[in-house]
Amino acid sequence: MGDRQPAEVFPPGEILREELEARGWSQTDLADILGRPFRVVNEIIAGKRGISPETAHGLAEALGTSAELWLNLDSAYQLSKVSAPSDAVSRRAKLYAVAPIRDMIRRGWIEESTNIEVLENRLLDFLGKEQLDDRLSWAHSARKSTSYDEEVTPAQAAWLARARQLAPAVMVDKYSPDGLNDLADNLKSLLPSPEEARRIPRFLADAGIRFVIVEPFPGTKIDGASFWLDERSPVIAMSLRYDRIDNFWFVLEHERFHTRTRESLGTGLTLDIDLEHAKNKPRKERAADRFAVETLINQEELDKFIRRNHPLFSTLKIQGFAAVIGVHPGIVVGQLHNREIVRWTHFRKMLTPIRQIITQTALTDGWGHFPEGI
């Protein structure tokens, strides 16, 4: 008998029975030849037992075939007993490819369903898309620590969509560029004390800017975003990925620059690379970085401080300088770190956490905060 595949899918036992009849062998004879119990041969022929690799090798030697033939016959038969699957598996796989479904369900962003069509519709509604393959339909400028040339990842898109969902719930005054100068002065007054950060959402709202905080998914590496609900409704969203006062203020001022210049009001998609590690930033991102740095600390004053004290910095000297210029010492340390004037491991105790403070007053999704009805 050669290596052949049957035209139809039959139980391997039927083919084995034909082989025994052709040779005039009984099931007992085959059991003796194989050195296996009669029950094993009988159950294979009756279709009650599958063919193991060991049995396949024995049949190959006894009948002059290959072991692969019997294994393939058995596999084909077992597969034939399984009903043809629907497209639910492939559709569910596509859902998981375009969004972090399990994380979104855990966060309460979408409701779980065993019905794939219902789950698809809930995801499309959440993302504001008509089809899963559609790109994001709204412009934004987002800080993220991946290449500027890369597309927004599914987790980042979900984060941005959630920020957009939350933003309309924030009550603000009418936006006007004329109010941005007062906003800058108000924010500047908050820099010395971490506790004063709780007033930031109110100051932004007074200037017509909505402010929301969304906890990032692991690995998203997105720090913040600026976008517009319409031409009169700017939004700043932050992730607080790094819970440090220097990072918080830098990202906030960077995103405020995007709002101030209205560049994220257009139709394009602008991505910003992580402020602490990125190189080769586009010109507008370098401008936003300069704005943030110079808004927080007068760079001429910082240069003078560095020349007076380098390389013998101390906690007392940093605290004294911070008091003179009216900022928290952690903001000074952050800029010294960024300039690589001092090592990243030095003075880290001065990088005060700020998440618990700002989430008390900002509309927040994450870290135990669950906005109701949004």
Q: Are residues 114 and 181 in the same domain?
A: no
- Residue 128 or 8, more confident: 128
Q: State residue 6's pLDDT score.
A: 44
Are 93 and 164 members of one domain?
Answer: no
Residue 1 falls inside a structural domain: no
Percent over 90 (pLDDT), the chain: 68
355 shares a domain with 307 = yes
Does 107 share its domain with 195?
no
pLDDT, residue 149, reads 56
Quote the pTM value: 0.79
Domain that holds residue 56: 12-80
Angstrom distances, CA of residue 185 to CA of 182, 296, 322, 365: 5, 11, 17, 28
Q: Are residue 117 and residue 152 in the same domain, yes or no?
A: no
User: Is the peptide bond preceding residue 100 cis, with omega within 30 degrees of 0?
Assistant: no
Tokens found for residue 173: 């005054």
CB 123 within 8 A of CB 99: yes
| pLDDT tier at 5, thresholds 50, 70, 90 | very low
| Boundary of a domain, candidates 58, 80, 102 | 80
Q: What is the mean pLDDT of residues 135-141?
A: 57
Q: Are residues 333 and 230 in the same domain?
A: yes
Within this chain, do residues 57 and 203 fall inside the same structural domain, yes or no?
no
Residues 218, 244 contacting (CB under 8 angstroms):
no
More confident: 80 or 269: 80
Confidence of residue 219 (pLDDT cuts 50, 70, 90): confident
Kindly give, in sequence order, each residue whose CB lies less than 8 Å from that of residue 66, ignoring residues fewer than 6 positions away. Answer: 3, 60
Helix axes 38-45, 12-23, angle to 10 degrees: 110
DSSP per position, 280-302: S--HHHHHHHHHHHHHHS-HHHH
Q: Examine the domain organization and report whether 65 and 203 are in the same domain.
A: no
Q: What is the pLDDT of residues 45-76, one digit of tens each?
A: 998 899 999 999 999 999 999 999 999 999 98
SS3 labels along 181-231: HHHHHHHHCCCCCHHHHHHHHHHHHHCCCEEEEECCCCCCCEEEEEEECCC
Amino acid at 139: A
Q: Kindly indicate the confidence band of residue 221, based on its pLDDT and cuts at 50, 70 and 90.
A: confident
- In a domain, residue 334? The reply is yes
Cα–Cα dist 354/249, whole Å: 10
What is the domain count for the chain? 3
Q: For residue 107, what are the CA distances in angstroms to 128, 360, 368, 370?
A: 18, 19, 10, 8
Length of the chain: 374
Strands 234-238 and 210-214, how do they pair?
parallel
DSSP of 236-270, one letter per residue? EEE---S--HHHHHHHHHHHHHHHHHTGGGSSSEE
Say if residue 40 is in the same domain as residue 148.
Answer: no
Residues 307 and 255 in one domain: yes
Residues 127 and 171 in one domain: no
Same domain, residue pair 277 and 171: yes
Domain membership of residue 3 (yes or no) is: no
What's the pLDDT at 282? Answer: 78
Question: Can you read off the two tokens belonging to residue 345?
Answer: 């491991």
pLDDT at residue 104 tops 50: yes
Residue 221 and residue 274: Cα distance in Å, rounded? 8
User: Is residue 165 in a domain?
Assistant: yes
CATH number at residue 46: 1.10.260.40
DSSP reduced 3-state for 272: strand
Band (pLDDT 50/70/90 cuts) for residue 165 is: very high
Mean pLDDT value across residues 360-364: 98
**pLDDT digit string, tens, across residues 281-328:** 778 888 999 999 999 999 999 999 999 999 999 999 999 999 999 999
Amino acid identity for residue 73 in this structure = L
- Higher local confidence (pLDDT), 277 or 329: 329
List pLDDT tens digits, range 252-284: 999 999 889 886 666 444 556 465 666 677 788
Quote the mean pLDDT of the chain.
88
